Structure 1
Amino acid sequence: MFASASPDNLKQWKCPDGRFIQNLTGHNAIINCLAVNPEGVLVSGADNGTLHCWDWRTGYNFQRLQAPVQPGSMDSESGIFSMTFDHSGSRLITTEADKTIKIYREDDTATEETHPIHWRPEIIKRRKY
């Protein structure tokens, strides 16, 4: 499978015939980049500095982040141009419009009690891939 980004949503596709699987919606900006790690976390970055974390299998958007702007930069310089995960798959590296490279990591202290997931699927789960 693979994903593609567009101005308003992400699309998942099935190989080898390129069959459309589902839309992942939620960004309110142009999506510039995508990255996925071995655990099935898909992250999308947009022109307005938002990062959305998705579960690859279900399409559930479980976290949204706003990239902080470098001190002295304008808010309009919060766009995310590219991103990738490191070899461990636990750190996300981004290049951004404010001329910075940022590294995001997992919160090791997060638990189900401190960071509950409110599962409200908008997408009907399809057959397994």
Structure 2
Amino acid sequence: MRKYHLPSGQLMHMVKKECGQIRDLALTPQYAEGDDGWIMAGVTNDGLLSLWDYESSHEYCRMRLPAVKGSLESETGLLCCEFDNTGSILLAAGYDKAVKVLRLRDEDTPESRPIKGFVAPEVYMSLDKE
């Protein structure tokens, strides 16, 4: 993944870690005061969610989000992700027809992110009619 300065076309950062085929990216809607800055989230076709610091491209964490119980193995991929208006909740929708809701920890700090990352999915909302 590469980040460019658009007016000049100059390469700013390049994430060199293998993170699969990125399907969607989301950026927190507002700049967080202090050291938090902007957080960028990315989801892949194989069900990985990665979180990066937008300015430095440092990867805070990477996790595989589980598919809803009873889903096929081919339904583990993620289609899209989006932050809420506050930037504290991340939604990720997958092939399993469910929306995963992830909440940023209250005690989350830049120092704890590389170790603790984000809370695992708390809520599953199925889009099925069942």
Task: Give me the TM-score of the superposition, normalised by structure 1.
Answer: 0.73
Amino acid at match of 1:48: D
Match of 1:19 among 10, 22, 27: 10
Q: Where does structure 1 lack aligned partners over 5 or more consecutive residues?
A: 1-9, 119-129
Q: How does 1:74-93 map to 2 (within 5 A)?
A: 74-93=72-91
| Partners of 1:80 and 1:94 within 8 A in 2 | yes
Q: C-alpha distance in 2, partners of 1:28/1:87?
A: 26
Query: Relative contact order (alpha carbons < 8 A, sep ≥ 6): 1 or 2 greater?
Result: 2
Root-mean-square deviation over aligned CA pairs: 2.1
- Mapped to 2, the partners of 1:74 and 1:81 lie a distance apart of 16
TM-score scaled by length of structure 2: 0.73
The alignment of Structure 1 onto Structure 2 pairs a total of residues equal to 108
Match for residue 53 of structure 1?
51
Structure-to-structure mapping, 1:1-129, within 5 angstroms? 10-37=1-28, 38=30, 39-110=37-108, 115=112, 117=114
Letter in 2 for 1:93: L
Distance 1:64 1:72, change over 3 A: same
The 2-side partners of 1:94 and 1:112 are apart by 22
Once residues 26 and 41 of structure 2 are traced to their aligned partners in structure 1, the CA distance between those partners, rounded to angstroms, is: 5
